[in-house]
Structure formats: C-alpha cells, structure tokens
Structure 1
Amino acid sequence: MTEADAMTAGKAAVTSVDEAGTAAGWRLYTDDGLPPVLQAALACFVEQGYHGTTIREVAARAGLSVPGVYHHHPSKQALLVGIVTRAMAELWERSTAALEEAGPDVGRRLDLLVECLVLFHAHRRELAFIAASEIRSMLGDDRTTYIEARDRQQRLMDTVVEEGVTRGAFTTDYPREVSRAIVTMCTAVSQWYRTDGELSPPELAARYRTMARMTVGAA
C-alpha cells in the first residue's frame, strides 16, 4: 500500500466519525467502524500477534475464503496498514475536535487533549494497542507514514505544553520531556485498561487530567 493509498483509506475510515459529528461528539464511542475483514484481522493480531497470524485464520474468522480476503487486501501487511491507518486517523480527528472545543485557554486545551487521549485508548484499546505494538512489523513506506502520523499527533501535545510555559500558565522547566511523558502515560491505557475495572473511561480521564496538570506545574 502506498502513502497515497493509506491516506485515502484513512479518509474513508473516519467517514463514520465525521458523520457522527466529531466536533460535537469526540467523547462518544459506538462501533469502531472497521469493515469485517479488518475486524477479523484485529482480533487475530490481538490474540496471536501479527507474525503468529495467517491469512487463512483471518479469512476463517471473517467468514471468507482466502481469495476473498485478498480481493480486498492484497497482503497481511495491507491488513495491518488498514488497521493502523484507521487508528491514527480517528485519533487525529477526535484530538483536533477536542482542541477546537477547548478554544484558546491553554489549561483547557491540556485538559481536553488528555481527556481525548485517555478516552480513545480506553474505548479503542485493541485498535490502539496493535497500532502501537506492531510498528515493528510495518515495512518501508508504510512504516514511514505511520511514524509521521504518530509524530504529528505528538506535536499537538508539544504545542500545548510549550504554549502554556510561554504564557506562564505551566511552570515545568522541561516542556518537551513532560509532553512526551503525558502522551506516553495516556497511550499506555490501552495496555492495561479493562471495562470491568474500578473506573469508567470518563472517571479515568478525569484523574489523568489532574495528573497532567500536576506534571506541567499548572494551577
């Protein structure tokens, strides 16, 4: 899959998010919008890992023949790229909508971006987990495209923290390191969060908002 193909897939993947009104509903989560083949591949990758999964297993889970899978996705790598592209595109759409809602107040921008990251990695934990953990399995231009999308996402937090320090709203002496620490803390939610745990996603997000403010040295 070329970079252009990945971008096209990403735009198509977030159509359901856009139609639901991301700007007004970035906190809302329903169906993940993955087509059946990608849903089957995601389940297999979560259970067995990318390298431990065969196209035949994906086909069986999706209720298709092997040629049926190849009709939509020419390789196992293309399945992984489809999943990762969906994850990064949806996270970007929700994050930019959260920042738009926050407006110019830098403290609120930090709050809502952290909330968005935590909600996404709790509600989309399997999608987010594979996107993060299977970068090792991505090749060539697909890997480069993913890293660019990840870095673009990180820059959202970098900008918020740096702006807060410049305005005197945050007192940390290490804005870049703090920014990466906050994002890492939020994205790690996908590794351990369970729906039957102590906290709901909104409750967890509220705690993380407080921790993020403490980390940047905000009031």
Structure 2
Amino acid sequence: MDDSDRPDDWRDFGRETFPPLLRGALTCFAGQGYHGTTIRTIAAAVGLSVPGLYHHYASKQELLAAVMEQAIGDLLTRTRAAVDRAGDDPLRRFDAVVESLVLFHAHRRDEAFVAASELRALEPAHRERLVGMRDEQEGLLYAAVADCVARGDFPATAAREAGRAVITMCTAVATWYHISGPIAPEELAATYVLLARRTMGLPDPGTAG
C-alpha cells in the first residue's frame, strides 16, 4: 500500500470508512454475532431484498470477510501511517503504534469487536488472509520493541511477552470504553502510551532508572 492509500491524518476518525452495505452488516454482526445474524436480517437493515443482497455478496461468509477486511485494513493503514510519520526513532514508533491502537479501539468499537471476536467464524481461506493482516499489524509493534531493546530503551528480558501484554491492553479498550464517557480518546491514548512504556520497563521521565 503506497502513501496515496493512507489517510491524510491517521488520527482523524471523523469520516465514514465503511460502505453503507458493509456498515449495515457490521452493525448486525456486532449486535447479534455472526451465527445469530441471518442474511434476511442484514438485507432488511440495508433496505435490500435478499436476492438484491446476494447480487453484491454471494454469502453471509463473504459479507463477514469483507467487513473484517475493511476493519483490519483501516487499522493497519492508520498504523503504517503513524509509524512512517514517527520517523527512525524506535521509541517514537512504539508510542505511535500504541496511540494508533488505542484511538482505533476507542473510536471504532464495533469494527474492533467484530474483527477480534469473529475470526473463529471465518472459513480457512479468509481466516488465513485476515490473520496475516492482523499479524502484520502486531508486527509493527514487535519491530519497534526489538529496535528499542537493541538501542537500550527497553530491557531485553521478556520483551516479546511484554509487547504482547501491551497489545492486549490496547485492544481491550474496545470492551469497556464509550465515546460519551468522561475520558476523550486522545487523553486515553496519551495515558496508555505511558502505561505501555512502563509495561516495557521504561521509567517515567524524570524518575531514576
């Protein structure tokens, strides 16, 4: 994916990224789960007949795969842009990945929830492709962690496991955060950057370490 495909501002969540049909399917999957959602339910939600829906997607499985590819692709695109703009400094890249994860999981709760919870519902061909995208996303954080270890920013002991803990912490935001709550996504992301650094063993600025 080249720069022309990347959002002008990876922190901007004001624009709709889902086509209307996929948005309707996403809402159904988020509310009722993949197995609890029927094609008829999705068709009604988007104002189509069942045959009209099948004109666009051959099956509910194809719809799920398209929804998840849109969601995971959006996160991956934003995180690539965040990493690119962070430059060569590994700690800035680490911070950027954490911020991207938190902002996405705060602003795009339904997308994040379906992408995480319905991987098990995918058929093997779709699962392999989408797990590959997810692994690439996680690899951006692991690469920054490895570079931080090499430079001496983070201790080498259990760095991979600490990185996994950071990813889990960030993605869990979608399970409890609500945009109407008292904490703005940007404030939450800034807090999580500090928490993530602590998890990796980096002292807070100004403390002895």
**How do 1:87-126 residues align onto structure 2 when only pairs under 5 Å count?**
87-126=71-110
- Percent of pairs with identical residues: 48
- Measure, in 2, the Cα distance between the counterparts of 1:36 and 1:101: 31
- TM-score, with structure 2 as normaliser: 0.92
Task: Tell me whether 1:131 sits opposite 2:115 in the alignment.
Answer: yes
- TM-score, with structure 1 as normaliser: 0.88
1:7 matched residue in structure 2: none
2:181 matched residue in structure 1: 197
1:48 matched residue in structure 2: 32
- Measure, in 1, the Cα distance between the counterparts of 2:156 and 2:169: 17
Any unmatched runs of 5+ in structure 2?
A: 204-209
Q: State the shift of 1:32 in Å.
A: 3.0
1:165 matched residue in structure 2: 149
Please tell me the residue identity of whatever aligns with 2:11.
R
- Measure, in 1, the Cα distance between the counterparts of 2:132 and 2:94: 22
1:75 matched residue in structure 2: 59
- Measure, in 2, the Cα distance between the counterparts of 1:109 and 1:182: 14
1:35 matched residue in structure 2: 19
Runs of 4+, deviation exceeding 4 Å: none
1:175 matched residue in structure 2: 159
Q: State the shift of 1:172 in Å.
A: 4.7
Please tell me the residue identity of whatever aligns with 1:35.
P
Q: State the shift of 1:31 in Å.
A: 3.0
What does the per-residue CA deviation read over 1:106-135, in whole Å, with 9 as the maximum and x for residues that have no partner? Answer: 111111110011001111110111010001
Does structure 2 conserve the Cα–Cα contact (< 8 Å) formed by 1:106 and 1:163?
yes
- Measure, in 1, the Cα distance between the counterparts of 2:15 and 2:89: 32
Q: State the shift of 1:33 in Å.
A: 2.1
- Measure, in 2, the Cα distance between the counterparts of 1:104 and 1:91: 21
1:188 matched residue in structure 2: 172
Answer 1 or 2: which has greater helix percent.
1
- Measure, in 2, the Cα distance between the counterparts of 1:90 and 1:191: 19
The structure 2 residue matched to 1:57, chosen from 35, 38, 41, is 41
Q: How many residues align?
A: 202
- Measure, in 1, the Cα distance between the counterparts of 2:139 and 2:67: 22
- Measure, in 2, the Cα distance between the counterparts of 1:151 and 1:43: 25
Does structure 2 conserve the Cα–Cα contact (< 8 Å) formed by 1:172 and 1:217?
no
2:207 matched residue in structure 1: none
Any unmatched runs of 5+ in structure 1?
A: 1-10
